[in-house]
Each structure stands twice: as structure tokens, then as C-alpha cells.
């Protein structure tokens, strides 16, 4: 945990906060802080800052916070991801938040199994703590916006053009002629990157994405597991 994140309602008008449970335990047992020590804090979807430990009681740590720094700059990157298996989805939430995505759109596809949509890892109560864990790791405060679009075709046909207006749209496809590096726009320009399911997008899905402004790009001939593919491809996109 590189930054302790608070809900805005937890911070008093005078900047005082009482940490309990997991966060108090982190300050006491991992940071081993004492009164007077500093810790990094932030407000979810708000400012970053620092805090001083003012007092320590059993199970509770009092902080005095100074929140004066905006969130990290937006990466202007949206991930459009064919819903992976529940185990993989679970593993990906924290890394996706830590990488600083603006938006995560999970979609159905021909090769996405129907029962994947029944996982509790798609409920905000389950994934919100994992997104927070990712932000506490990265030091940022801004949560990615998460959307579930179960039906791929109507989403791409009816919403993609509005939803992705002004963004460079890319879809990773192993047989694409152009390498990913050749189609990435300059740093700061918004990007939507579509990553398919295990087994890939169908030709129909690729065609539909192309009709709606997505350019095909290759990340090489190696077939990667979804979690490796997502982190490696996002690495290439975020380093633009």
C-alpha cells in the first residue's frame, strides 16, 4: 500500500481522520508509524496528499491530513475487453486500476462463455475493493469507470461511435499486418484498445470493429494468456 485511500466523507472539515481495521493495521504493523510520522493519503476520486499521525489508540490511528495535490494525470486510455474467465477477471481488477486506465468496458463475444457473466467478480461490491487495492498500490486516487456491455453487436453498432468519439481505436489481432507500435497515436491522445477472448475475436467481430473505426494491430505471433496479453498490450499502449 503506497497510499492510504479514504472516502471523502471520512475526512473531517479540519482534516482529521480516524483509520480503523485494515488501514490502521497497515499504519501500525507495516509502516510501524508513531505519532509525528508522515503517511501518504488520498481521497478516492479526489486529491492526493500527506498526513501526520497525531495519536494511536488500540485499533485506531488518528491522522491530520493535508490534501493539496491533484490526482495523477489521466492516461486517456480505455480498455475494451472480452469478458475473461472469472479467475482471470478477479486477478486483473487490481492491476488494471494500478495501470491508470480511464475506463474498463467488459463485453460479450462469440468465444466468451455465457456463465462467465454470472460471476460475483462482476458486482461492484466485489470489484470495488480490488480497484481500491490497485490505486493504493499505484499511488493514484482516480477510479476507472467500469461498464458491462453484455451484448457486443448492439454496443459496437449503437454506442461505440459516440462513446469513443475522438479516440484512436485499436483492436489486437495476431494476423494484422501492422505492428501495434506503428498505429499508436502520440502521448496524450485518447486510445481505446480492444482485446479479445481466449481463442480470439471472430472474423465477424473484427469486421464490425473495423466498420466502427477500429484499426487492426498485431502484438506479435505469440499466443498469450489473457492476463499476460492485457498487461503487456496495455504496457505498450501506456508507454506511447
Give the binding site for a second copy (CB under 8 A): 2, 72, 75, 94-95, 98-100, 137-140, 179-181, 187, 219-225, 227-228, 231-236, 238-240
Q: Which is nearer to a second copy, 56 or 232 (CB)?
A: 232
- Smallest separation (angstroms) from a second copy to the CB of 128: 19
- Give 77's strand partners: 191
- Smallest separation (angstroms) from a second copy to the CB of 134: 9
CA dist., res. 98 & res. 64, Å (int): 26
Rounded to 5 degrees, what angle do the CA atoms 97, 87, 102 make? Answer: 20
- Smallest separation (angstroms) from a second copy to the CB of 223: 5
- H/E stretch holding 69: strand 60-69
Q: Which of 18, 65, 21 shows the shortest CA–CA distance to 43? A: 65
- Smallest separation (angstroms) from a second copy to the CB of 217: 9
Q: Which is nearer to a second copy, 93 or 164 (CB)?
A: 93
CA dist., res. 132 & res. 144, Å (int): 10
Q: Which is nearer to a second copy, 35 or 235 (CB)?
A: 235
Q: Which is nearer to a second copy, 114 or 222 (CB)?
A: 222
Rounded to 5 degrees, what angle do the CA atoms 33, 36, 37 make? Answer: 40
Amino acid at each position: 500500500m503506497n497510499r492510504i485511500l479514504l472516502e471523502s466523507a471520512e475526512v473531517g472539515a479540519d482534516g482529521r481522520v480516524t483509520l480503523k481495521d485494515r488501514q490502521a493495521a497497515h499504519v501500525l504493523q507495516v509502516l510501524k508509524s508513531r505519532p509525528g510520522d508522515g503517511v501518504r493519503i488520498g481521497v478516492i476520486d479526489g486529491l492526493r496528499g500527506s498526513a501526520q499521525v497525531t495519536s494511536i489508540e488500540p485499533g485506531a490511528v488518528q491522522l491530520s491530513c493535508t490534501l493539496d495535490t491533484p490526482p495523477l494525470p489521466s492516461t486517456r486510455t480505455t480498455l475494451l475487453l472480452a469478458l475473461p474467465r472469472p479467475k482471470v477477471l478477479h486477478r486483473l481488477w487490481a492491476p488494471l486500476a494500478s495501470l491508470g486506465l480511464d475506463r474498463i468496458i467488459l463485453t460479450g463475444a462469440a468465444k466468451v462463455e455465457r456463465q462467465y457473466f454470472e460471476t460475483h467478480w462482476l458486482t461492484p461490491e466485489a470489484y470495488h475493493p480490488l480497484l481500491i487495492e490497485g490505486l493504493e498500490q499505484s499511488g493514484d486516487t482516480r477510479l476507472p469507470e467500469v461498464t458491462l456491455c453484455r451484448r457486443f453487436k448492439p454496443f459496437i453498432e449503437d454506442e461505440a461511435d459516440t462513446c469513443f468519439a475522438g479516440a484512436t481505436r485499436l483492436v489486437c489481432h495476431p494476423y494484422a499486418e501492422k505492428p501495434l507500435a506503428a498505429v499508436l497515436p502520440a502521448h496524450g491522445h485518447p486510445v481505446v484498445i480492444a482485446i479479445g477472448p481466449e481463442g480470439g475475436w471472430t472474423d465477424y467481430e473484427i469486421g464490425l470493429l473495423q466498420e466502427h473505426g477500429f484499426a487492426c494491430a498485431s502484438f506479435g505471433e505469440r499466443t498469450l494468456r489473457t492476463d499476460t496479453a492485457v498487461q503487456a498490450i496495455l504496457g505498450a499502449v501506456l508507454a506511447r
